[in-house]
Amino acid sequence: MSDAPRPRSGTRRGFLDWLLSRTLTTWILSTSLGGLIVAVIYPVGRYLMPPASGESAASSVTLPYTPDELAPNSAKIFKFGNRPGIIVRTATGELRAFSAACTHLGCIVQLREDLGHFWCACHNGHFDLNGVNIQGPPPRPLDAFEVNVRGDQIVVSKGA
Ligand code: FES
């Protein structure tokens, strides 16, 4: 157990020294163990448990700009719940929206006007304006959203 000296028999001073050293040893051991638990187990537990808000529960979002603010062959990033989306107006004037998270490792794609399609800068992934992966490491198309124009509002929804 403890290497603390036994109380000298019969003296009050010896008993107090012995008691103090035992208490101190117990306190050091218990705080060290507590510190170890807090320093190791808590971060590991937090790492293993998923965050409370993983997937967005939002099924539609009204964009903060009007259809006229999107020129042909341009795109804007928007927030869809806690995820990024991208809306593009094609050269022919059609509005299309997708998840802006690259299907490779989740970087945010952008419209390359010079190429006429979406591009992911992280690993040179390319997607056409239908969201289809056409070059590079992305394994599948971008998730497509439904776009509805209601007056001056653009409403983007997840598909059924
Ligand atoms: S994350 Fe987009 S190509 Fe790798």
Going across the sheet that includes 144-150, the strands are 60-62, 153-158, 144-150, 95-99, 83-89, 74-80
Higher pLDDT, 145 or 81: 145
Instruction: Please count the helices (runs of H) and the strands (runs of E) in the chain.
Output: 2, 10
Contact of 145 with 158, CB cutoff 8 Å: yes
Ligand 1 atom with minimal separation from the 102 CA: 2
What is the value of pTM for the model shown? 0.66
8 Cα to the center of ligand 1, angstroms: 73
Q: Which two tokens stand for residue 131?
A: 């969201």
What CA–CA distances, in Å, run from 110 to 10, 87, 103, 120, 127? 84, 10, 13, 6, 10
Tell me which DSSP letter residue 160 carries: -
51-109 tens-digit pLDDT: 555 555 679 999 999 999 999 999 999 999 899 999 999 999 999 999 999 999 999 99
Q: In CATH, which superfamily holds the domain spanning 60-158?
A: Rieske [2Fe-2S] iron-sulphur domain (2.102.10.10)
Q: What are the DSSP calls for 82-121, one per residue?
A: TEEEEEEE-TTS-EEEEE-B-TTT-PBPEEETTTTEEEET
122 Cα to the center of ligand 1, angstroms: 5
What CA–CA distances, in Å, run from 134 to 75, 95, 120, 126? 19, 20, 12, 6
Q: Which residues make Cβ contacts (< 8 Å) with residue 5, sequence separation at least 6?
A: 17, 18, 21
Q: Per-residue confidence at 24, pLDDT binned at 50, 70, 90?
A: confident
Question: For the chain, which residues make up each domain, given as ranges?
Answer: 1-49, 60-158
Residues with C-beta less than 6 Å from any ligand 1 atom: 102, 104-105, 107, 120, 122-123, 125, 136-138
pLDDT surpasses 60 at 143: yes
Q: Which residues make Cβ contacts (< 8 Å) with residue 32, sequence separation at least 6?
A: none
- Residue of 99, 102, 103 to mutate, ligand 1, most atoms within 8 A of C-beta: 102
Q: What is the pLDDT of residue 4?
A: 55
Query: What is the overall mean pLDDT for the chain?
Result: 86
Q: What is the pLDDT of residue 32?
A: 75
